[in-house]
C-alpha cells in the first residue's frame, strides 16, 4: 500500500502551523461549536504511545462548582509561586496573565493511567515515564489540531497534582499531567507573549544541540 503524497506547499504550511502555535492566556468566552472538542480529542488519540498503550485520560470540566474550586486553587498556588521572585522580576511576574480559566469555554484536565491494560507493558519496563511522555504527545497533537482550526490552547501548570486529582475525583492510579484551557483566542500576535514581555526569549540553537 502506498502512503499519502502531500501536495506542494504542505511542508511550508506545517512550518507556519508550528510557528504560530501559542500558549494562549487571553480567550473569548464564545463556546466552541458542538462536536469540536470531540473532534480534537479524536485527533489527539492519533498520537504515538509506548506499546500503543494510549494512556491518556481526558476529563472535561463541566461542573461550575468544580471549575470554581480549580480557579481558587490555581490562584492560591499562583500567590505561593510569586513569593519566590523579588524586585523587578516580581513585578514582571505579577504582570503576566498565567491562565484563562475564567474565560475559556472548555477547561480540560489530562491524566495518565499509570498501569493501563492496553499495550501489555511493552516498552515501559525500564522507562515507565514513557507513559506520561505519551500523554504529552497527545496534548501536543491536540494543540496543533486546535490551532489549525483557529482554536487556542493554554497549559496551566501552577497547580498541585494531588489537589487536582481530589477536586476532580479521578481514580487513584491516574497521574495528573496537564490542565488545559481551550477556546478562541481574544488576540493573536506574531511574537509569543513571554517573549514580548521580555520574560524569556527562544534559546539559540547552540544552547540546545550537541554532539558526542
pLDDT in tens, 75-113: 999 999 999 999 999 999 999 999 999 999 999 999 999
Report pLDDT for 183: 98
Mean pLDDT, all residues of the chain: 96
Q: What is the pLDDT of residue 137?
A: 98
6 part of a folded domain: no
29 pLDDT band (50/70/90 cuts)? very high
**Residue 118: its pLDDT value, please?**
97
Look at residues 189, 116, 115 and name the one whose alpha carbon lies nearest to residue 152: 189
pLDDT in tens, 111-163: 999 999 999 999 999 999 999 999 999 999 999 999 999 999 999 999 999 99
17 occurs within a structural domain: no
- Dump strand ranges (E) for the chain: 56-60, 106-113, 152-156, 174-183
Which pLDDT belongs to residue 20?
Answer: 96
- Residue 127: inside a domain: yes
Q: What band does 23 get if pLDDT is binned at 50, 70 and 90?
A: very high
Tell whether 94 is covered by a domain.
yes
What's the pLDDT score for residue 123? 93
For residues 106 and 101, what is the distance between their CA atoms, to the nearest angstrom?
8
Instruction: Put the strands of the sheet holding 174-183 in their side by side order.
Output: 56-60, 106-113, 174-183, 152-156
Per-residue confidence (pLDDT) for residue 148, from 0 to 100 = 98
- Rounded to whole angstroms, the Cα distance separating 197 from 48 reads 34
In a domain, 3, yes or no: no
Domain that holds residue 91: 22-201
- Is 13 within a domain? no
pLDDT band per the 50, 70, 90 thresholds, residue 208: very high
Say if CB 72 and CB 152 are below 8 A apart.
no
The DSSP call for residue 32 is: P
* Residue 8 resides in a domain: no
Q: Are strands 174-183 and 152-156 parallel, antiparallel or unpaired?
A: antiparallel
Residue 1 has pLDDT above 90, yes or no: no
pLDDT in the model for residue 143: 98
pTM for the full model?
0.95
Model pLDDT for residues 45-58, shown as the tens digit of each residue: 999 999 999 999 99
> Do the domain assignments include residue 208?
no
Give φ, ψ of 176 to 5 degrees. Answer: -65, 135
CATH number of the domain encompassing residue 191: 3.40.109.10
The total domain count for the chain is 1
Q: Tell me the angle at which helices 64-82 and 87-95 cross, rounded to the nearest 10 degrees.
A: 160
Encode pLDDT of 175-192 as tens digits. Answer: 999 999 999 999 999 999
Length of the chain as a residue count: 212
Secondary structure class of 61 (helix, strand, coil): coil
- Judge residue 146's burial from the number of C-beta atoms within 10 Å of its C-beta, 0-12 exposed, 13-18 middle, 19 or more buried: buried
Check if the beta carbon of residue 82 is closer than 8 Å to that of residue 162: no
Average pLDDT value for residue range 9-31: 97
Amino acid at each position: 500500500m502506498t502512503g499519502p503524497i502531500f501536495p506542494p506547499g504542505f511542508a511550508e504550511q506545517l512550518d507556519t502551523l508550528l510557528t504560530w502555535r501559542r500558549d494562549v492566556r487571553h480567550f473569548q468566552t464564545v463556546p466552541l461549536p458542538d462536536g469540536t472538542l470531540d473532534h480534537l480529542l479524536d485527533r489527539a488519540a492519533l498520537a504515538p504511545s509506548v506499546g500503543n498503550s494510549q494512556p491518556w485520560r481526558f476529563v472535561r470540566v463541566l461542573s461550575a462548582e468544580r471549575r470554581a474550586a480549580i480557579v481558587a486553587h490555581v490562584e492560591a498556588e499562583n500567590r505561593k509561586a510569586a513569593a519566590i521572585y523579588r524586585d523587578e522580576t516580581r513585578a514582571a511576574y505579577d504582570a503576566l496573565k498565567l491562565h484563562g480559566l475564567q474565560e475559556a469555554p472548555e477547561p480540560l484536565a489530562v491524566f495518565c493511567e499509570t498501569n493501563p491494560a492496553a499495550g501489555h507493558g511493552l516498552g515501559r519496563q525500564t522507562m515507565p515515564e514513557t507513559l506520561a511522555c505519551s500523554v504529552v504527545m497527545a496534548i501536543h497533537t491536540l494543540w496543533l489540531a486546535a490551532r489549525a482550526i483557529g482554536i487556542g490552547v493554554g497549559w496551566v501548570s501552577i497547580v498541585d497534582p494531588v489537589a487536582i486529582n481530589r477536586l476532580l475525583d479521578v481514580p487513584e492510579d491516574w497521574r495528573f499531567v496537564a490542565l488545559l484551557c481551550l477556546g478562541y483566542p481574544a488576540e493573536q500576535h506574531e511574537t509569543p507573549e513571554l517573549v514580548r514581555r521580555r520574560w524569556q526569549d527562544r534559546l539559540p540553537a547552540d544552547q540546545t544541540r550537541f554532539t558526542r
